[in-house]
């Protein structure tokens, strides 16, 4: 697992993830798993072709947002225990249990994309590029899918 595969899993499987376990009905869960592979390649731990290239890539804000979320996680995975504690505290929405790992922190960012934006942005360790230069309006990832001249959601695996 890398920071990139952690972000892809947390975001794609957000509605199916609970306490580190994944479950849910078809076709939703298989579609979510396919979306995870369109963000990061689970075999290599690197960006997927879909996210890295047009019509995504540098054509949208998704790649820099994705990398910035991974950079927030890198503050923990490539830092100290104190760095992890700062990330977990910033990714902890009110009334919820504090995350205990980077998957839970990324899951919180996916489920509550406007919580502590500036604080989380400031915690990033700039490992992955391109990245955002300022805090976004929300930690939202949206992929563009095209097939046969049709733009729309659901055309996985392009």
pLDDT tens digits for the chain (158 residues)? 999 999 999 999 999 999 879 999 999 999 999 999 999 999 999 999 999 999 999 999 999 999 999 999 999 999 999 999 999 999 999 988 899 999 999 999 999 999 999 999 999 999 999 999 999 999 999 999 987 555 555 545 54
Question: 99 — phi, psi (to 5°)?
Answer: -60, 145
Res 147: pLDDT? 74
CA quadruple 125, 142, 31, 23: dihedral sign: positive
Q: The tokens of 112 are what?
A: 């509550």
Res 19: pLDDT? 83
Domain chopping of the chain, boundaries: 3-16+25-144
DSSP state of 99: P
């Amino acid at each position: 697992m890398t920071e990139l595969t952690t972000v892809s899993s947390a975001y794609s499987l957000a509605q199916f993830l609970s306490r580190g376990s994944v479950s849910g009905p078809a076709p939703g869960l298989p579609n979510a798993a396919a979306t995870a592979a369109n963000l990061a390649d689970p075999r290599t731990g690197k960006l997927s072709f879909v996210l890295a290239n047009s019509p995504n890539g540098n054509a949208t804000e998704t790649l820099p947002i994705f990398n910035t979320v991974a950079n927030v996680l890198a503050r923990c995975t490539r830092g100290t225990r104190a760095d992890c504690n700062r990330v977990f505290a910033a990714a902890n929405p009110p009334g919820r249990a504090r995350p205990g790992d980077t998957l839970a922190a990324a899951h919180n960012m996916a489920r509550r994309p406007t919580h502590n934006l500036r604080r989380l942005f400031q915690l990033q360790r700039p490992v992955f590029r391109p990245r955002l230069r300022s805090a976004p309006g929300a930690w939202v990832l949206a992929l563009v899918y095209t097939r046969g001249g049709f733009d729309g959601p659901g055309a996985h695996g392009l």
